[in-house]
Chain A
Amino acid sequence: MRIFCIANQKGGVGKTTTTVNLAAGLAQIGHRVLLVDLDPQGNATMGSGIDKRALEATVYDVLLGGAGIAEARQPSPHGGYHVLGANRELAGAEVELVPLEQRERRLKNALADVSADYDFVLIDCPPSLSLLTLNGLCSAHGVIVPMQCEYFALEGLSDLVNTIKQVHANLNRELEIIGLLRVMFDPRITLQQQVSDQLKAHFGDKVFDTVIPRNVRLAEAPSYGQPGVTFDPASRGAQAFVAFAREMAARLGSKPAAAAAA
């Protein structure tokens, strides 16, 4: 089981879109996937087709020890993966976690119980550095950073890179940046092309080959409670995410469980 955080320090850069569609893409090519929503906004939960207001148990209960992941998880109706959902209640966990033992490792410990059930766990982390984000980063083998190729993109990464370095040094020696994913890319904008070149010059292999284009179908899909990958499989956005899932799996040398068993 490989565990990844999807994180960026800015809102509105396609973090949740990336989490939901990578989960659906990995599921589509045969992997067993759990999506963990660590953002109290619950957008990844809703975007997976699960009503966040109707959840009996959420990641909040798991963090505070009131439920195990096996009880709290739900299948995404269209996505082909499981979801450990979140809603507003999760905002309270920030305070309630403080007095608990191993407060940064609650999620990691809970994930250990389901390690045989999944090939991939994808964690949608909120942008601010908080105990919730720390729980994500302490659980993970790596971080996937979706980013727009905007002017100042490189400078905008410095806080996140520092956070990852600190967590690596103090809490989780395994943690590394797995890669930067260029999202909402518009090749007609020359400046985006230039920033994309800068990113490759600066981060080299850490920049994923796959580029996710700006695509209206990806933007519409959450309103229908579906990942773009299943909402409109023929769209350019959906196809890019499936290609990204293949690239991820290939980078990690991971084969679908079904194929490995055969």
Chain B
Amino acid sequence: MALPATLLSRVEDAGLNASAPPAQWWIDGWLVRVLPGKARRARCVNALMAGVLPLDERLAAAEAACARTGVPLIFRITPFTQPAGLPAELQARGFEPVDPTLVLVAPERPATPPPAVPAHLRLEPLDGQAFAEAVGALRGSPPEHRRSHALRLAHSPAPYRGLALRRADDGAVLACGQVATEPPFAGLYDIVTHPEARNQGLARLLCEHLLLLGASLGGSTAYLQVDAANAPALAVYRRLGFVDGYGYQYLERPGA
């Protein structure tokens, strides 16, 4: 059964809040985010209102804002993008779709007792700085991406809480993830498992605890954004009770 559009619109709002970079521009109805780093959602244009300027003037203004921090101009296209004809106009100007993503939602998910953490693992909270380092190490991100991630977490209007599953022996991080809470929503972000620790149920274990953490802060409806082609991750999330909300993708110029 499809979820109500009003709920999905609010989930989109919560996702925008949880992705807010420390600096952004509002340009004629476009929310222009320009934080250099890995996360596209912190360096993209969200076209939220129809605006009053001709498209090419808006593009020039957004381009200039992006150029100031050296990020390419890319658009995040959702079912809420305004006006509905914008994607076609952008594609006519050479922008191409990339990164189809699904937003999954688990409305009013009942809080269940947390699953036990096996003796060979340790589950620990991580502050924003430590989390950016841990997830950066798992992804092999360069130091500047880790710094910009930590900066964004520190300034997020929706507070983030990070957890790491460590190997008990040596403390190595095998999986980590975080939850951004804005009651009644809790968003799961940056769920990453070490390549050698996959298919052991770690992501699911971690997510169960993150969902409980979010729920304890008032986030009873959970959401997340996942690469539409990532079948293993989708399977984990569906088992946790997430259902399809809506899809989005990015439009960027080739080679951006």
Is the CB of A10 closer than 8 A to any CB of chain B? yes
**In angstroms, how far is the closest chain A Cβ from the Cβ of B209?**
8
Q: Which listed residue, A9, A10, A148, A155, touches B124 by the CB 8 Å rule?
A: A155
In the bound assembly, the distance between CA atoms of A148 and B218 in angstroms comes to 11
Is the CB of B69 closer than 8 A to any CB of chain A? no
Contact B127 A195 (CB under 8 A): no
Given A186-B218, A189-B218, check contact A12 B212 (CB 8 Å): no
**What residues of chain B lie closer than 8 Å to A12, measured between beta carbons?**
159
Contact residues, B213-235 vs A (CB, 8 A): 213, 215-218
**What residues of chain A lie closer than 8 Å to B216, measured between beta carbons?**
149-151, 189, 191-192, 195
Given A11-B154, A155-B124, check contact A150 B217 (CB 8 Å): yes
1/0 per residue B150-164: CB within 8 Å of A? 000010000101010
Is the CB of A66 closer than 8 A to any CB of chain B? no
When C-beta atoms are compared, the residue in chain B nearest to A128 turns out to be B129
Which residue of A9, A152, A192 has the most chain B CB atoms within 10 A of its CB atom?
Answer: A152
Contact B111 A190 (CB under 8 A): yes
Is the CB of A65 closer than 8 A to any CB of chain B? no
Contact A10 B213 (CB under 8 A): no
Is the CB of A204 closer than 8 A to any CB of chain B? no
**In angstroms, how far is the closest chain B Cβ from the Cβ of A41?**
10
In the bound assembly, the distance between CA atoms of A186 and B215 in angstroms comes to 12
When C-beta atoms are compared, the residue in chain B nearest to A9 turns out to be B127
In the bound assembly, the distance between CA atoms of A149 and B215 in angstroms comes to 11
Is the CB of A156 closer than 8 A to any CB of chain B? yes
When C-beta atoms are compared, the residue in chain A nearest to B211 turns out to be A151
A-B contact pairs, 7 of them (CB 8 A): A11-B159, A151-B209, A151-B213, A152-B209, A186-B218, A189-B216, A192-B216
Extra pairs beyond A11-B159, A150-B213, A191-B111 (11, CB < 8 Å)? A11-B128, A12-B159, A150-B216, A151-B213, A151-B215, A151-B216, A152-B125, A152-B209, A190-B111, A191-B212, A191-B216
The 8 closest A-B pairs by CB, nearest first: A191-B216, A151-B216, A12-B159, A150-B216, A151-B213, A156-B125, A152-B125, A151-B212
